[in-house]
Structure formats: C-alpha cells, structure tokens
Amino acid sequence: MVVEETVGRLRITESILEGRELHVRFNLRRGLVISVFEGLSIQVRYAEFLGIAGPVGCGKTTLLKVLAGLLKPERGEVYYKNQRLEKPTPAISLVLPTTTLFPWYTVLENVMLALYSDKSLTREDKIERCRAFLDMVGLSAFDSAYPSELSDGMKKKVILARALVTHPDVLLLDEPFDNIDPLAAVALRSEIENMWMNESMSPSSVVLVSHDIEELVELCDRVVVLTERPARVKEVVEINLQRPRDKRRREFYDYVDKIFTLLS
C-alpha cells in the first residue's frame, strides 16, 4: 500500500473505487445523442474525502451513478477494491438529490429498509443498529415519527442514516446540503466529517459532488474539477490544510479562488 504524509495525516494513495476510461452516452428521441464521457478516468483513494466540481450538466450525477454500479457505462469499467463492479453493492452507498423517504413508513422503518435483504441480522439486531444510527444523527427521539412530521434538514439526516446503516466503505453524496437551511447544513457537514474522521466507523471514503466551492475546500482532501460535456478531468486540486479548516484563513480562500478560476 502506498502511503504519503500531508498536513499531519497519513494518506493512502491506493484506490478503493476507480472508474477507468468511462464512456457514457444517452440516446434521446429524434436521434439526438448526448455524449457525457468519452474516456473519463477517476480514482477514489482509501480513507479520502474526494470532491467533484464541474459545470451544470457536465455529468457529475451520472458519474456517481456509474461509480455506484447503477448505470453501466457503454465502455470502460468500474473497480471496487480492484474487483470489477458489475452491479450495486451495500458497500457503496449513493445519496442523490432525488433520494426520498417513504411517507407511509416511520423514520425507523425507513432506515430499516436498507437492511431488508441482510439475512445475517435478526429483526431485533436491525432495530438496534438503526436506532444507533438515528442516535448518531441526533434523531433518536423521532424514530416513530413519519417523514411529513420532519423538517427538510431532519429528512436529510434520516436519508444519511439509511445510507450509513449498511456500513458502506464508500459514501457517494450528490449535493447533500442543497435546499436545507444554512444552519442545518453546517451541522450536517460536521456530522459527515466527524463520521469520516472516526477511523473505527464507516465510511472509509466519501465522494462529495457540490456546486459550493467553499464547502468542497472545507471538507475535501482533493477536488476533481471537470470540464463541460463530454467531461474530462481538468485538474485535481489537493487541499493541504489542517482540519478543522478555518474559513477565515488566507490559504482557504486561495483554494476557493483556484477552483473558481478553473470552473470559470
């Protein structure tokens, strides 16, 4: 395993999840073809927080779907721990902006759905584990509430608990802090960072797609900046700042400026 040291943390440079030479096209009606990737490669390393930034419609959500095994590329492969990924696995959790809760199930039942096909756990084990995750996101008192009784920020926390309850190695997040109030977003960001920093807990690696450059600089070890469609990797920016990151520091804004310039 290749290890390098940056700002006091050891960093493993080997990939846990990798997209190699991905080609993705969508065939629309009337013969229109949208080419999203023509040979895009991306590496997510062990124990890293990776950011993805890029213009609107360049293929960020599509890329997460491919990396989760939900969308098969026309050419190219996805490798998870050096094994070809052919279909979705509980080891890779994906949260999309469209991910919702089932309104007719309680909060606890919604989280338990993620463990539905896990035959190794009894119903009691599942309840216990789900309660522990709801507790972790601060919602233990709401396990019997229905989604309609929660605020938007609380719903996002339940969705996050559901994504984490399977103990995934990789958590793929597509604009998870959009459409929630700024204070709830601050709390949720630090929740995710703390979980990821805690080495005894999953996930090992987080991939965050965001349009918010400050958010990317605050959380990520590296930020992959994509070009317009067909998306290529324009640059990978390494963020060498101590955690927790201080937004008032000049170096913080140097990174924000750098990524902003790459995107404009």
Alpha-carbon distance of 203 to 145, in angstroms, equals: 27
Smallest separation (angstroms) from ligand ATP to the CB of 56: 4
Comparing C-alpha atoms, which of 113, 92, 93 is closest to residue 101? 113
How many C-beta atoms lie closer than 10 Å to residue 138's C-beta? 14
User: Among residues 61, 110, 202, 205, which is the contact residue for Mg ion, using CB under 5 A?
Assistant: 61
Structure-block tokens of residue 203: 């996930």
Site mask for ligand ATP (CB under 6 A), range 51-90, x = bound:
---x-xxxxxxx----------------------------
Candidates 37-45, 59-67, 150-158, 214-222; binding stretch for Mg ion (CB under 5 A): 59-67
Q: Which is nearer to Mg ion, 22 or 112 (CB)?
A: 22
Alpha-carbon distance of 16 to 46, in angstroms, equals: 5
Structure-block tokens of residue 123: 């119903």
Does 36 sit near ligand ATP (CB under 6 A)? Answer: yes
Partner that binds at residue 185, options ligand ATP, Mg ion, none, CB closer than 5 to 8 Å by kind: none
Smallest separation (angstroms) from ligand ATP to the CB of 188: 19
Does 33 sit near ligand ATP (CB under 6 A)? Answer: no
Q: Are 216 and 222 in contact (CB under 8 A)?
A: no
Phi/psi of residue 15, each to 5°?
-85, 140
Q: How many CA atoms lie within 13 A of 221 on its CB side?
A: 24
* Site residues for ligand ATP per CB under 6 A: 26, 28, 34, 36, 54, 56-62
* Site residues for Mg ion per CB under 5 A: 60-61
